[in-house]
């Protein structure tokens, strides 16, 4: 059970109290108490990744109980790359395009023109923690540039769901006048304007209104990132 795994983590780290663990993680004491009491039965994927990065605890084990708490030096891999076994019926294949970056031609992906590889992920992880419901429209590409730092850094790889129904605040891959951007979207359909925002405040927002909206296409929504080491 999750509550037992968290207690095992605290024991391994020699953190004696819930209050000390909450302080270390910069979580509220209430959040730790709810998790360890069993009142909350699921850990957020972001919380598992945070524990994984701080303490080299296997994030996939934290979320599911599968595998080992420590993976012989490989527990620092992001939870999104914890691949399921080859014979797992819940394995989902995603297309990875190693030659394509978000700033260079992603909107024109064509399997006959670009080299494509396959990476496998657990369907339950994609459903429960990334809120993905369709598995036939997922791609993996690399991000170029630092406009979305610290959320997404230059050279990181992201999982993109190829749908155009983005909600306010989501990070999207957008084709704007033929250029490909990765930005956070803010829109007002009634007043016909869309803004594309950078997390890095050194970059100006891109605002489009009226007829300019005809030159915008949302290619997909960023659902997760895979951080290189």
Q: 63-83: per-residue pLDDT in tens?
A: 888 778 875 443 333 444 445
**Cβ contacts of 209 within 8 Å, gap of 6 or more:** 192, 193, 194
Write out pLDDT tens, residues 116-151. 777 777 777 777 766 677 777 788 888 877 888 877
Rounded to whole angstroms, how far apart are CA atoms 205 and 182? 12
pTM of the model: 0.54
Res 108: pLDDT: 47
Q: Can you list the residues of the chain whose pLDDT is less than 70? A: 71-88, 97-115, 129-131, 227-229
Domain 91-226 is found in CATH 2.10.109.10:
yes
State how far the alpha carbon of 26 is from the alpha carbons of 21, 162, 189, in Å.
Answer: 8, 34, 38
Looking at residue 6, its pLDDT comes to: 92
The domain ranges of the chain are 2-77, 91-226
Residue whose C-alpha is closest to residue 172's, from 105, 164, 138: 164
User: Measured between alpha carbons, how far is 176 from 168 in angstroms, rounded to an integer?
Assistant: 17
C-alpha dist (Å) from residue 210 to 189, 205, 220, 223? 10, 17, 22, 29
Q: Does residue 177 come out as left (phi exceeding 0), alpha (psi in the -120 to 50 range) or beta?
A: left
Taking the CA atoms of 56, 119, 86 and 128 in sequence, report the sign of the dihedral they define. positive
Say which CATH topology domain 2-77 has: 434 Repressor (Amino-terminal Domain) (1.10.260)
């Amino acid at each position: 059970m999750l509550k037992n795994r968290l207690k095992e983590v605290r024991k391994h780290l020699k953190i004696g109290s819930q209050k000390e663990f909450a302080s270390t993680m910069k979580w509220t004491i209430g959040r730790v108490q709810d998790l360890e009491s069993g009142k909350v039965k699921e850990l957020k994927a972001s919380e598992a990744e945070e524990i994984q990065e701080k303490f080299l605890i296997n994030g996939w084990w934290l979320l599911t109980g599968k595998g080992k708490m420590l993976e012989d030096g490989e527990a620092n891999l992001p939870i999104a790359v914890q691949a399921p076994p080859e014979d797992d019926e819940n394995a989902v294949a995603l297309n990875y395009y190693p030659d394509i970056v978000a700033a260079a031609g992603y909107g024109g992906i064509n399997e006959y023109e670009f080299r494509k590889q396959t990476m496998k992920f657990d369907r339950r992880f994609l459903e429960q923690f990334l809120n993905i419901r369709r598995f036939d429209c997922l791609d993996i590409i690399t991000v170029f540039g630092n406009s979305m730092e610290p959320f997404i850094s230059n050279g990181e790889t992201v999982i993109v769901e190829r749908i155009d129904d983005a909600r306010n605040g989501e990070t999207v891959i957008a084709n704007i006048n033929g250029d490909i951007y990765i930005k956070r979207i803010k829109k007002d359909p009634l007043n016909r304007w869309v803004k594309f925002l950078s997390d890095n405040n050194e970059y100006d927002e891109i605002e489009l209104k009226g007829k300019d909206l005809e030159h915008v296409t949302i290619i997909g929504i960023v659902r997760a990132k895979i951080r290189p080491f």
